[in-house]
């Protein structure tokens, strides 16, 4: 079976030719989802460094506050604060329409 690769900047998925085996609406849905993920990754890359690091670790790598604190040398409470501030930054700088 043909190997297809969907590259989402830092994340790579092997689809094992599954996209071509799916009905057109399902394959289109997966392709749209992949495009949305690329867009989100690009927007996360726009964040200030101090916010990007914790947002990426928490939401993309699915790490806990404790894991992020251990890896960054921050206190757990500082990780929570940075996530809160990062979310606030995103609300102020990103429009809802950008994600629809």
- Regarding whether 52 and 41 lie in a shared domain, the answer is no
- Regarding whether 52 and 79 lie in a shared domain, the answer is yes
- Regarding whether 66 and 29 lie in a shared domain, the answer is no
pLDDT number for residue 100: 58
Assess whether pLDDT exceeds 70 at residue 26: no
- Regarding whether 88 and 55 lie in a shared domain, the answer is yes
Q: What are phi and psi for residue 7, nearest 5 degrees?
A: -100, 115
Strands (E), the chain: 5-8, 11-14
- Regarding whether 58 and 34 lie in a shared domain, the answer is no
**24-46 mean pLDDT:** 75
- Regarding whether 97 and 84 lie in a shared domain, the answer is yes
**18-23 mean pLDDT:** 53
Q: Which domain holds residue 7?
A: 1-45
- Regarding whether 71 and 53 lie in a shared domain, the answer is yes
- Regarding whether 26 and 3 lie in a shared domain, the answer is yes
pTM: 0.61
**34-58 mean pLDDT:** 85
pLDDT number for residue 3: 42
Assess whether pLDDT exceeds 50 at residue 78: yes
- Regarding whether 67 and 93 lie in a shared domain, the answer is yes
How many domains is the chain built from?
2
90 token code pair: 């995103």
């Amino acid at each position: 079976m043909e190997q297809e690769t969907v590259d989402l900047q830092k994340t790579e998925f092997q689809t094992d030719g599954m996209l071509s085996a799916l009905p057109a609406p399902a394959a289109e849905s997966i392709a749209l989802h992949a495009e949305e993920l690329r867009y989100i990754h690009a927007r996360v890359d726009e964040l200030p460094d101090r916010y990007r690091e914790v947002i990426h670790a928490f939401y993309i790598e699915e790490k806990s506050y404790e894991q992020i604190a251990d890896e960054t040398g921050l206190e757990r409470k500082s990780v929570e604060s940075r996530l809160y501030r990062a979310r606030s930054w995103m609300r102020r700088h990103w429009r809802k329409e950008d994600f629809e």
